[in-house]
Every structure is written in structure tokens, then in C-alpha cells.
Amino acid sequence: MGSEPTKARHVAIIMDGNGRWAKRHHVPRAMGHQRGVEAVRRLVRALEATGLECLTLYAFSSENWNRSEEEIGDLMNLMRRFIKSDLPEFVANDVKLKIIGDWKGLAADIVAMLEDALAQTAKGKRTLAVALNYGSQQEIARAAAKAAEEGEVTVESLAANLDTADLPPLDLLIRTSGEQRLSNFLLWQAAYAEFWFTDVLWPDFTPEHLGEALDQFARRERRYGGR
């Protein structure tokens, strides 16, 4: 008899390609970001069917502040609209929201909206973790500083102070749009994760694409440094 398929508990996605999607369709970049939000909605609605315990999405990196003021403004306003419009759907789909990164450094009204969303979804059975104002190197530095305050810095004490300490270990990391790099995302957590890259631009990504990645993951043999 063959071995049982490997089941993923935690998947993370670098949602890349909104700008290229907009350029390909001859529309403003803001429209690409809007269509990217619609792709997020599709995955939230399908989260239960995936069997995942946690889905982590890279929404806004600490490096994204280097973009134009207009684009940053568009992204922040889109975030406000998304939280307002989709919070009831999160609750209805039994999804627990978690935010990782230095999200309290965002605008005060966004922070207040996020705190409310976290409270309202606290009892959800499946977790959607959203990385906002997030950089993995910065996260590791914060975790190391906290571990040092508490005592000795070890692999275990550092891991216990990461933003993701209460989440299942990362099984699979997906990046869309054909790029094949981590871009300062979950560097520590991805130590033994599997990777899946696709040329599909994020606005075109569907639950079926996620299912394809999960099916491929299930056929992989994870070795964790062993033979």
C-alpha cells in the first residue's frame, strides 16, 4: 500500500501581479488592486472546502511604502472598503482574522477597524492571516529582541515570539505571477515549507488554482533534511 497523501494545514501566498494584470488589460493600477481583492474574496469563501486550518496572505509589505503616494492611498482606501464590506462575510464563513506585521503603524482609523474585525471574528474555526506593513527580517529582529528580554535567545524562544507563533507550521508557500523569490516574507517560517510557483497573475487566481497547488503538495515527500 502507498503512503497517505500529505495534507497541508497552513498555506501562505505572495499575491503578486496586480500591476501587470492592469497593464495587460489597459486599465489603471488601482483596478488591478481591486481585482486582486476579488481574488481574496473567492479564497475566503472557499476556505472551508480546502480543509486548511490557516491561509496567510501577503497584503502590504514594509517595502511597499516606497511606492507612489497615489498608489499607497489607493491601497489604503481599498483596505478600508474591504474591511467594511467583507467583515460580515468573514463572520458568516466562520473565518478568524489575524494580522501579522507592524499593522498598528497604519492610519489610526484602519487600526481601529482592524481591531474591531479581530474582535468580531475571534471565534472563527479557520484562520485568515493577513500580513500588513510586514517584513520578515523586521519580524525576526523583534522576536529576537523579545526573546533576549525574556532570557536566552534560542531557536525555540525566538520562534515563540514570532507574529505567527500561534499558527500551525507553514506547509506550502505559493507565489503568483511567475516570480520566484520570497520578498522578505515568512523567511523563518519557510525553512522547511514546500514552494509552488505559478505564472497566473493574482487577480486571475482562483480556488481551483489553490486546489491544484494542494494536490501537488499532497504528492510530495517532505524530508526535513533527512533522506
Active site residues: 16, 64
Cβ atoms of 218 and 3 closer than 8 Å: no
Distance in angstroms (rounded) separating the CA atoms of residues 138 and 6: 32
* Closest to 43 measured CA to CA, from 209, 207, 214, 212: 207
Alpha-carbon separation of residue 203 from 15, 99, 111, 218, 223 (angstroms): 9, 22, 26, 25, 33
SS3 call for 176: coil
Neighbours of 19 (CB within 10 A): 17
200 half-sphere exposure, CB direction, 13 A CA radius: 21
**Distance between CA 18 and CA 3 in Å, rounded?**
39
Distances (CA, A) of 2 to 5, 74, 185, 219, 222: 9, 51, 35, 11, 15
Task: Please name the amino acid found at residue 54.
Answer: C
Phi and psi angles of residue 154, each rounded to the nearest 5 degrees, phi first: -125, 170
